[in-house]
Amino acid sequence: MGLLSGLVKSAILAMALATWQLFLQPIWNRWIESQGKAVGWGETMLGYFIIIFFAWTLSSILTKKLDRERED
């Protein structure tokens, strides 16, 4: 992984985590609580896992061309 693609991946991950923290996590927490459950360690970890997985997958797709150009 090149420096540029690493920076792009890090920026996308940071943006996704900020979006999660500010907008999506409160919705997630309310949904968990509406199911009659408490928001604990497992629920919090699952939320972060989902957002990190999608952000890393998206960033890998977007930086694939950068990585290929670096190999050539």
Residue 1 has pLDDT above 70, yes or no: no
**Residue 47 CA: distances (Å) to CA of 12, 24, 32, 64:** 17, 9, 11, 26
**Nearest 5 degrees, angle CA 69-CA 71-CA 72?**
65
Query: How do the domains of the chain map onto residue ranges?
Result: 3-71
pTM of the model: 0.84
What percentage of the chain exceeds 90 in pLDDT?
A: 76
Read off the pLDDT of residues 29-62 as tens digits, 9 standing for 90 and up: 999 999 999 999 999 999 999 999 999 999 999 9
